[in-house]
Amino acid sequence: MIPKHIAIIMDGNGRWASVRNKARAVGHQAGVDNISRVVEIMIKKEIKFLTLFAFSTENWSRPIREVEFLTEQLLAKSISLNTERLHSAGVKIIHLGNKDNLNGKLKSKINDSIKLTKNNKKITLLVAFDYGGRQEIVRATKKLLSSGISLEEINEKSFSKFLFTGQVPDPDLVIRTAGEFRISNFLLWQTAYSEFYSTETFWPDFNENEIDKALLVYSKRKRKFGNV
Ligand code: IPE
Ligand code: IPE
Ligand code: MG
């Protein structure tokens, strides 16, 4: 079985640069360059939803220069460079996370790319930027309460509609690059029954061969959802 939704924790940009004696920014640039390549491969594999963890709510605690590089320069540049290409490849872009901490120009760039691609059907690309799973759950709770919903109507299904992922199915497979085995506040609600796969490969080197390996491992897993 091919997963319908793959979510990736794109980790290891810093280490990719460090083993090459390069600055961390060089690794982040290489990481961003890899995104459109991976999206194209996922389209070829007929994956319908791809979520990429690009910047967490905790990543604001990094040195200011690195944060500025990631949130201002790199994000702005990659939207400008990639939106048209993704649009013509049939990619629908969704953002998961806050936009409040980003500058106005960047916010409107993100909104424009979402609007431009909203009717595309080939694959949905969910970009988690300034995203944190706990924060998402708190935000959803506030939205739920202010929606005027009655106590009886609150259940897992109605609650999940208030998450950033709204109508998107839960990830079938979570991939983490760079050898770590932790969730780092990513999609806490949505990954309740996702299969987890970790590879030593750093994100900038994550390629088709790596994707094939992950898909092969996934195809051998037996998903039980609590059943026997
Ligand atoms: C992932 O690479 C990108 C972000 C978290 C923004 P890292 O920057 O975490 O790379 P390592 O973990 O230091 O190698
Ligand atoms: C997780 O990577 C966040 C992203 C990939 C955007 P981190 O590198 O921030 O995670 P920790 O700090 O190692 O858990
Ligand atoms: Mg990291």
Domain-embedded: residue 20: yes
Q: Report the number of distinct structural domains present in the chain.
A: 1
Domain-embedded: residue 152: no
pLDDT digits (tens, 9 = 90+) for 12-51: 999 999 999 999 999 999 999 999 999 999 999 999 999 9
Q: Which domain holds residue 24?
A: 5-133+171-219
DSSP codes joined into one string, 184-208 = TTSSTTTTTT-EEEE-SS-GGG--H
**Residue 13: nearest ligand to its CA?**
1
Mean pLDDT, the chain, rounded, equals 97
In CATH, what number is assigned to the domain containing residue 121?
Answer: 3.40.1180.10
Give the pTM. 0.98
Domain-embedded: residue 226: no
Domain-embedded: residue 191: yes
Domain-embedded: residue 16: yes
Domain-embedded: residue 162: no
Domain-embedded: residue 19: yes
pLDDT digits (tens, 9 = 90+) for 106-117: 999 999 999 999
As a whole number of angstroms, the distance between CA 202 and CA 17 comes to 10
Domain-embedded: residue 228: no
Residue from 8, 9, 203 to probe ligand 2 pocket by mutation (most atoms less than 8 Å from CB): 9
Task: Read off the tokens for 226.
Answer: 């609590």
